[in-house]
Amino acid sequence: MGISFFTPLSWNDSGFILTGVLNTIYISVLAIVVGTILGLIVGFLRAEANRFVNSLMGSVLDILRSVPLIIQLILFSTYIGAMGHPLNPFVSGSIVLSLYTMAFMGEVFRGGFESVQKPMIVTARSLGMSYWQALRYIRLPIGLRAVFPSWLGVALSVIKDSALVSVIGYMELLRTSEQLISRTQQPLEILIGVGIFYFIISYPLSLYGKYMERKMAI
């Protein structure tokens, strides 16, 4: 009887997998929240700014959106490390993923702000509302409703994209599974399991989206 270097998957691994699941949720939620807030600001500025400022912001956002996330992650973490400020994988991963999310959310929200026609805003102003009141009570709620489905699409893809943060060493779901695979040599079971976990994480968000869309359908 030969000696095996591999130990099969067992219930003892569940704690390890759970860490991966939680870390995936953690970094995804963080990137979605931060990316949404920054995206709102960027989208608003783009909808309001003049052409020069707009094209300047546009080109930065274009870079963030066009360079593959995996390259951004590696470049950022190595560069920061080489500068003598090594950050732990969670911090660099959160920064890059949040900015990446911001770039997509910015375009989503810009579309939302622009979808509210000028006469609607003039009407609000004619009732005595200030610029900011018209923004807060009319433009923002109408614009957000219009782009909610796109927002949801970006949020869902961020959850899946968070898997890429594994390349810089963050112990999220994919990386835990890779380590388990190298120990157990049971890629099929583990990857199916991981797929199911991603589904379980994403599905509530889809359901929430359907619920909200129904609620907002007027």
Partner 1 sequence: MIQIQDVHKSFGDLEVLKGVDLDVDKGEVVSIIGGSGSGKSTLLYCINAIEDIQQGRIVVDEIDVHAKATNQNKLRQKLGMVFQQWNSFPHLTVLENTSLAPQIVLKKSKKEAIELAKYELNHVGLGDKFDVYPTRMSGGQQQRLAIARALAMRPDYMLFDEVTSALDPELVGEVLDTLRMLRDDGMTMICVTHEIGFAREVSDKVAFFHQGIIEEMGPPEHVISNPQKETTQKFLSKVLH
Look-up: residue for tokens 């990137």? Answer: 31
Q: Closer to partner 1 at the Cβ: 142 or 167? A: 142
* 69-108 as b/e: b if 16+ CB within 10 A: bbebbbebbeeeeeeeeeeebbebbbbbbbbbbbbbbbbb
HSE-CB at 106 with a 13 A cutoff on CA atoms is 22
Q: Does 182 sit near partner 1 (CB under 8 A)?
A: no
Q: Using CB under 8 A, which of 27, 69, 138, 201 touches partner 1?
A: 138
- Asked if 95 and 190 count as a contact pair (C-beta separation under 8 A), the reply is no
Q: Does 102 sit near partner 1 (CB under 8 A)?
A: no
Q: Does 142 sit near partner 1 (CB under 8 A)?
A: yes
Q: Does 130 sit near partner 1 (CB under 8 A)?
A: yes
Write the interaction track for partner 1 spanning residues 39-78; mark x where CB under 8 A is met and - where it is not. Answer: ----------------------------------------
- Asked if 179 and 2 count as a contact pair (C-beta separation under 8 A), the reply is no
Q: Closer to partner 1 at the Cβ: 133 or 150? A: 133
Q: Closer to partner 1 at the Cβ: 116 or 152? A: 116
Q: Does 188 sit near partner 1 (CB under 8 A)?
A: no
Q: Which amino acid is at 60?
A: V
Taking the complex as a whole, how short is the minimal distance between the CB of residue 137 and partner 1, in angstroms? 6
Q: Using CB under 8 A, which of 2, 15, 84, 128 touches partner 1?
A: 128
Q: Does 211 sit near partner 1 (CB under 8 A)?
A: no
The 3-class SS string of 166-203 reads HHHCCCCHHHHHHHHHHHHCCHHHHHHHHHHHHHHHHH
Report d(CA 148, CA 34) in Å as an integer. 17
Binding site for partner 1 (CB under 8 A): 119-120, 122-130, 133, 137-138, 141-142, 145, 216, 218
